[in-house]
Amino acid sequence: MSNKETYLGDVQDVDGTTVSITLSKDSLTGFVYIDGQGYRAGQIGSFVRIPIGFSSLYGIVSQVGASAAPATKSLSEELGHRWMKIQLIGEAPRTGVFTRGLSQYPTIGDQVHLVSEKELKNIYGQPDRPYFVKIGHISNADSIPALIDVNKLITRHSAVVGTTGSGKSTTVASLINALSDGGRYPSSRIIMLDLHGEYGSALKDRAVTYKIGTPKSNGTAYEKELHIPFWALSFDELCEVSFGEITNEKEKNIVMERIQKCKDLSIAAHPRKGASADTLSVDSPIPFSLHHLWHELFVETFGTYYSNKGGRPIENLAYELDAHGKELKGNSEAGIPPVFKNVKNDKGDEEKINYLPGGSNLGKHLLSLGAKLRIPRYDFLFRPGDWSVGADGAVNRDLDGLLIDWLGTDRPVTILDLSGVPSDILQTTIGALLRLIYEALFWSRNLSQGGKYRPLLVVMEEAHIYLNDDFKGMASKIVQRIVKEGRKYGIGAMIVSQRPSEINPTILSQCGTFFALRLANSADRGHISSALSDNLDGLTNMLPILRTGEAIVLGEAVKLPMRTLITPPSRNARPDSQDPVIYDEAPLDETQHPGGWGIPREEKPNYEELSEAWRSQNSRISRIK
């Protein structure tokens, strides 16, 4: 094509990467055809080219009209309102490959040209390259695939943001489908933290899903029970989920010393490779019996004794059951505390009863832990199946079995469904999970299953819940470490959120690639703009008007920022996050259960199963078929 066909105007002002141009009266206007393709000149978000010698600079249109003129009023009045402002983003030799960054700047009078679809195909990349994955197509050019560089996407981290209903979950499912393609990436390894149980059905053909509670039979072996052994947690994590926050240093030191002693006895009874008495710390992932420790501390704290019978606790002398059949000695495995007689300090009484000497002040913390040991919702932590611990530290499966389940299955995706985690320990549980994964790959970085040889992508759904500005949060701390250092050890992060303004800015600023779907909130848009390395206000200002499933992709994994229509998965492979149907004339397909306000009212509605699900805190008791 000739330069005359694509000519727009001339450079009039250069301010860093911001260039103001005047549209020529002879330039193309309205809707025109170039090489059989229709274009509208001056569209926000479209690309322009500035030829300079044997190379060309490329930019994105960010503003059009009188407001795009420079601050110099006389210049603006002289040239009228036909102004355009662009943001420079990269350059390419006449016959070379486009690269981000600039080695030179335009000067006054340089011509500016429209970029045709043919030129964009050369810039956006080649779909036959194995490190590019296709996620959709360019919004205004159906023939140009939207390609993502896998190397940059995973090692430099990414974020998927968009308001509720913008297609965020579907976009994530599409990305995971592309990244877990067994034909192209047979050794891909992805872990998803699924807080609402949305992705198990969407990715059932390529994922193993771990849920809290016994999974119902669904004809597949790829839905299993989630266990997080308490003994694999660090001391601070274990205190948070079991004893609660211990603020008194003396009490904290008591618990620390007792846990250290339990782990010492455990490796003495059951030696484990890599652990020795010299290197063992209170944070080492060594099995020990928390139930027995709780029982011992409970006796020491609440125990009473006969002052004239050798000072033994009443619990060791009491009869087995009271009149109502209650176990007075308690049951450490069931979390049932022992029952002691009340203190009796009458002078001269033969059965004078005092508290056990040397007892601690851990009363409220031990009562809290005892309650958790009895509540089934905490069993995934305190009764973790094959990782449950005997009195001497014996376990059926050790740490390697846990890592095989999470990192070494025969499927590329592991979904950790956290929808059943009690809300009071959710943030700590997520922080512990992420720390376990990070440390496993950190220490194995030079081994065959380490991150350097087989990288890992960690997808964090609903990230604003646990990655907020509270720097004290355990999850926030470990994710900051992952996004800052994970690249060196083969750990990539994908942050998914509907409220990016609530995410710790340190974390968001480390994300090299953004998939920005529709964002209506100005604070959220500002957070995204401030986190981007490019000055692309023109694109980010389009975020409120994006269609459902449409995203602006910016950053290191794409050669150019692009407005993209994401190709959604098939209807039966989408996340379970769609809005309930209020009224629909007919189900979308024969297998869909009809619902909403348009169906006949049931004669005998079943609220019994509703109350059962509520009481058991288990949403899978009954499922519509």
Tell me the two tokens of residue 415: 């979904």
Three-state DSSP state, 75:
helix
Instruction: Classify residue 500: in a domain, yes or no.
Output: yes
DSSP 8-state symbol, 310: T
- Provide the whole-model pTM: 0.86
Q: Do 224 and 414 meet the contact criterion of CB atoms below 8 Å apart?
A: no
Residues 368 and 296 in one domain: yes
Rounded to an integer, what distance in angstroms lies between the CA atom of residue 424 and that of residue 453?
Answer: 37
Instruction: Classify residue 190: in a domain, yes or no.
Output: yes
Q: Is the pLDDT of residue 272 over 80?
A: yes
- Domain end, chosen from 359, 378, 397, is at 378
Residues 314 and 342 in one domain: yes
The pLDDT of residue 325 is 47
Instruction: Classify residue 119: in a domain, yes or no.
Output: yes
Residues 69 and 174 in one domain: no
Rounded to an integer, what distance in angstroms lies between the CA atom of residue 290 and that of residue 320?
Answer: 23
Q: Do 168 and 178 meet the contact criterion of CB atoms below 8 Å apart?
A: no
Residues 254 and 294 in one domain: yes
> Residue 133 is which amino acid?
V
Work out the number of other CB atoms within 10 angstroms of the CB of residue 65: 12
| φ and ψ at residue 114, rounded to 5 degrees | -70, 140
Residues 61 and 191 in one domain: no
* Residue 537: C-alpha distances to residues 151, 456, 526, 541 (Å): 27, 33, 10, 6
Could you write out the DSSP letters of every residue in 429-480?
HHHHHHHHHHHHHHHTTTSTTSTTTS-EEEEETTGGGTSSS-TT-HHHHHHH
* Residue 92: C-alpha distances to residues 95, 104, 123, 622 (Å): 8, 11, 9, 60
Instruction: Classify residue 598: in a domain, yes or no.
Output: no
Report CA dihedral (562, 564, 569, 571) to the nearest 10 degrees.
160
Q: Is the pLDDT of residue 316 over 90?
A: no
Instruction: Classify residue 50: in a domain, yes or no.
Output: yes
Confidence of residue 318 (pLDDT cuts 50, 70, 90): very low
Q: How far is residue 394 CA from its own chain's centroid?
A: 34
H-type helices in 135-248, by residue range? 150-155, 168-179, 235-241
Residues 6+ apart with CB under 8 A from 268: 277
Residues 241 and 370 in one domain: yes
Rounded to an integer, what distance in angstroms lies between the CA atom of residue 277 and that of residue 279?
Answer: 6
Q: How far is residue 12 CA from its own chain's centroid?
A: 46
Instruction: Classify residue 497: in a domain, yes or no.
Output: yes
DSSP 8-state symbol, 396: S
Helix H or strand E encompassing 252: helix 249-269
Residues 185 and 258 in one domain: no
Tell me the two tokens of residue 532: 């981007």
Q: What is the mean pLDDT of residues 551-570?
A: 88
Residues 6+ apart with CB under 8 A from 447: 453
Give per-residue burial for 376-415: e unless 16+ CB within 10 Å, then b.
ebbbbbbbbeebbbbeebebebbbebbbebbbebebbbbb
Residues 361 and 507 in one domain: no
Residues 264 and 304 in one domain: yes
> Residue 519 is which amino acid?
L
Question: For 435-462, what is each residue's pLDDT tens digit?
Answer: 999 999 999 988 988 888 999 999 999 9
Round the average pLDDT of the chain to a whole number and report it: 84
Instruction: Identify the CATH number of the domain in which residue 101 sits.
Output: 2.40.10.170
Residues 6+ apart with CB under 8 A from 224: 208, 209, 210, 211, 215, 405
- Give the rounded percent of residues in the chain with a pLDDT score beyond 70: 84
The pLDDT of residue 312 is 67
Across 3-12, 91-100, 144-153, least confident range: 91-100
Residues 109 and 215 in one domain: no
* Residue 443: C-alpha distances to residues 156, 455, 488, 519 (Å): 20, 14, 12, 39
Question: For 501-536, what is each residue's pLDDT tens digit?
Answer: 899 888 998 999 999 999 988 888 887 777 665 666
Domains in the chain, number: 3
Confidence of residue 566 (pLDDT cuts 50, 70, 90): very high
The pLDDT of residue 595 is 65
Residues 371 and 239 in one domain: yes
Instruction: Identify the CATH number of the domain in which residue 523 sits.
Output: 3.40.50.300
Instruction: Classify residue 566: in a domain, yes or no.
Output: yes
Residues 69 and 198 in one domain: no
Rounded to an integer, what distance in angstroms lies between the CA atom of residue 198 and that of residue 211?
Answer: 12
Helix H or strand E encompassing 7: strand 7-15
> Residue 226 is which amino acid?
L
Range(s) of the domain holding residue 283: 235-378
CA dihedral (190, 191, 194, 195) positive or negative = negative
